[in-house]
């Protein structure tokens, strides 16, 4: 793919106002103002479109809504959601010497008359609040205090009993507490329930209440909680999504860069697949990653290019990239890239699709440049 660019010096000239043909006459005389650059020959302004032919893709970041005030249980919008929680036992203190008589997990639900059957499972590895959590391993089933595995999740009663002996092992450190997953008992059930997460505040957040045999009580909060999302959706288009967090990777090949080019305007254009939007908050951010290798963690960080809000009525979204060209060119390599992400990831299940390089009819991702050759000064 051919990409046109320019050196930082000429970008600076442009930003200061050089190259404008509408400048008024000055006492120097108009013969010195060809193309707006004193003492230069006239230049032709050209617009060119370079289409991305290959290398564009969507890549997975994680499958965890860690930055939301709610946790989801159920199937909806071709995704299956499980609340996941980890109790903070770091301040157990003298509780480690006591014997547990009763333990109840409180999960406050948003008002609804609907119910769901679910099973509590231990996590086989520790849960951490991370946007890169892409999978979880389920361990043993956690029955209620009557040793019943399947529970009815309902708004009327937000408390769920846990085996006292198991909780006692967690408190004393005799058994690792990696976390709890609330898993659908019947995956065909399309009901979805909403529970309050720690971000909701002290009155609504999940807690574990423990009563000991000496009648002492302790209430533990969560060190991590959120929603793990299993994706049941697939597409051949470029997929931008949250819940199951995917970003869109667009390669930028600078191998054909002409150093005598003065870029006046540069845009990346992505064409939106009709009716592909799901969910709210259409704010997106384009950035230049520290690495163009999607297997390198540095690909998740980079230099901000621009942010915008997509609209559901548009058939395309464009991003001005002129401000990043000097940085990309300074790397002096072919494997540059731009990456599109939702601005606030980890908050809700949403997605949008864009046509990729395999699309026909000019719908591929493309770069549009308005440029001219650098002025040649008269001697």
pLDDT for 336 equals 87
- Higher-confidence residue of 46 and 356: namely 356
pLDDT for 31 equals 43
pLDDT for 164 equals 97
Under 8 Å CB-to-CB from 181, ≥6 apart: which residues?
Answer: 82, 83, 84, 120, 121, 122, 123, 136, 138, 228
**pLDDT tier for residue 259 given thresholds of 50, 70 and 90:** low
Burial class (CB in 10 A: 0-12, 13-18, 19+), 323: middle
- Higher-confidence residue of 297 and 40: namely 297
Least confident span in 8-17, 100-109, 213-222: 8-17
Cα–Cα dist 121/149, whole Å:
9
**pLDDT tier for residue 264 given thresholds of 50, 70 and 90:** confident
Burial class (CB in 10 A: 0-12, 13-18, 19+), 315: exposed
**H/E run at residue 79:** strand 79-87
Domain ranges of the chain: 8-61+244-373, 65-231
User: What mean pLDDT comes out for the span 332-356?
Assistant: 89
Q: Is residue 227 within 8 Å of residue 84, measured between CB atoms?
A: yes
* pLDDT single digits (tens) 140-192: 999 998 999 999 999 999 999 999 999 999 999 999 999 999 999 998 888 99
* pLDDT single digits (tens) 220-257: 999 999 999 998 889 999 999 999 999 999 999 877 76
Best CA proximity match to 168, nearest among 128, 118, 201, 212: 212
User: What mean pLDDT comes out for the span 324-344?
Assistant: 81
Whole-model pTM: value is 0.81
Under 8 Å CB-to-CB from 41, ≥6 apart: which residues?
Answer: 34, 35, 375, 376, 378
User: What mean pLDDT comes out for the span 193-207?
Assistant: 94
User: What mean pLDDT comes out for the span 75-90?
Assistant: 93
Burial 30-64 (b: 16+ CB within 10 A, else e): eeebbbbbeebeebeeeeeebbbeebbbbebbbbb
Burial class (CB in 10 A: 0-12, 13-18, 19+), 312: exposed
Is the pLDDT assigned to residue 6 strictly greater than 70? no
**H/E run at residue 187:** none
User: What mean pLDDT comes out for the span 290-310?
Assistant: 94
* Residue for token pair 């050209």: 46
Burial 122-144 (b: 16+ CB within 10 A, else e): bbeeebebebebeebeebeebbe
pLDDT for 159 equals 96
**pLDDT tier for residue 294 given thresholds of 50, 70 and 90:** very high
Alpha-carbon distance values, 299 to 113, 151, 285, 294 (Å): 44, 42, 14, 6
**pLDDT tier for residue 332 given thresholds of 50, 70 and 90:** low
- Higher-confidence residue of 359 and 280: namely 359
Best CA proximity match to 179, nearest among 93, 243, 121: 121
Tell me the CATH number for domain 8-61+244-373.
Answer: 2.60.120
* pLDDT single digits (tens) 206-221: 999 999 999 999 999 9
Q: Is residue 196 within 8 Å of residue 69, measured between CB atoms?
A: yes
* Residue for token pair 């058994």: 175
CA 358 vs. chain centroid, Å, equals 24
Best CA proximity match to 162, nearest among 108, 109, 219, 101: 101
**pLDDT tier for residue 333 given thresholds of 50, 70 and 90:** low
Under 8 Å CB-to-CB from 40, ≥6 apart: which residues?
Answer: 34, 375, 376, 377, 378
pLDDT for 14 equals 36
- Higher-confidence residue of 142 and 129: namely 142
Query: How many CB atoms are located within 10 Å of the residue 161 CB?
Result: 16
* Cα torsion 162, 166, 167, 170: sign: negative
pLDDT for 30 equals 42
Q: Where is mean pLDDT largest: 65-74, 209-218, 343-352?
A: 209-218
pLDDT for 46 equals 84
Mean pLDDT estimate for the chain: 86
Percent of the chain exceeding pLDDT 70 equals 85
Cα–Cα dist 64/273, whole Å:
25
Cα–Cα dist 351/81, whole Å:
15
């Amino acid at each position: 793919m051919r990409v046109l660019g320019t050196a930082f010096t000429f970008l600076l000239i442009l930003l200061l106002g050089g190259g404008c043909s509408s400048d008024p006459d000055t006492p120097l005389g108009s013969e010195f103002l060809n193309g707006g650059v004193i003492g230069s020959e006239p230049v032709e302004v050209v617009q060119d479109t370079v289409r991305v032919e290959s290398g564009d893709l969507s890549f997975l970041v994680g499958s965890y809504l860690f930055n939301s005030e709610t946790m989801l249980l159920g199937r909806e919008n071709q995704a299956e959601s499980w609340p996941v929680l980890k109790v903070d036992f770091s301040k157990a203190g003298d509780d480690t010497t006591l014997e547990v008589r009763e333990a109840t997990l409180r999960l406050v639900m948003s008002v609804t008359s609907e119910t769901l059957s679910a099973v509590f499972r231990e996590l086989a590895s520790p849960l951490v609040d991370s946007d890169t959590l892409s999978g979880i391993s389920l361990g043993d089933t956690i029955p209620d205090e009557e040793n019943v595995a399947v529970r009815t999740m309902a708004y009327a009663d937000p408390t769920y009993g846990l085996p006292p002996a198991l909780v006692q092992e967690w408190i004393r450190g005799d058994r690792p507490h990696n976390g709890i997953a609330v898993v659908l008992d019947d995956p065909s059930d399309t009901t979805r329930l909403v529970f309050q997460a720690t971000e909701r505040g002290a009155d609504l957040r999940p807690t574990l209440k423990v009563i000991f045999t000496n009648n002492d009580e302790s209430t533990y909060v969560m060190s991590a909680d959120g929603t793990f999302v299993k994706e049941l959706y697939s597409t051949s288009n470029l997929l931008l999504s949250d819940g199951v967090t995917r970003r869109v990777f667009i390669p930028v090949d600078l191998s054909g860069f002409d150093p005598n080019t003065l870029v006046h305007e540069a845009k990346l254009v992505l064409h939106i697949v009709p009716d592909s939007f799901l969910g709210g908050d259409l704010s997106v951010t384009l950035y230049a990653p520290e690495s163009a290798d999607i297997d390198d963690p540095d690909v998740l960080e980079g230099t901000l290019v621009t942010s915008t809000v997509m609209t559901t009525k548009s058939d395309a979204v464009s991003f001005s990239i002129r401000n990043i060209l000097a940085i990309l060119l300074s790397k002096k390599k072919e494997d540059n890239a731009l990456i599109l992400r939702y601005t606030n990831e980890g908050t809700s299940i949403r997605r949008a699709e864009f046509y990729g390089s395999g699309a026909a009819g000019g719908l591929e991702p493309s770069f549009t440049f308005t440029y001219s050759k650098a002025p040649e000064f008269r001697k």
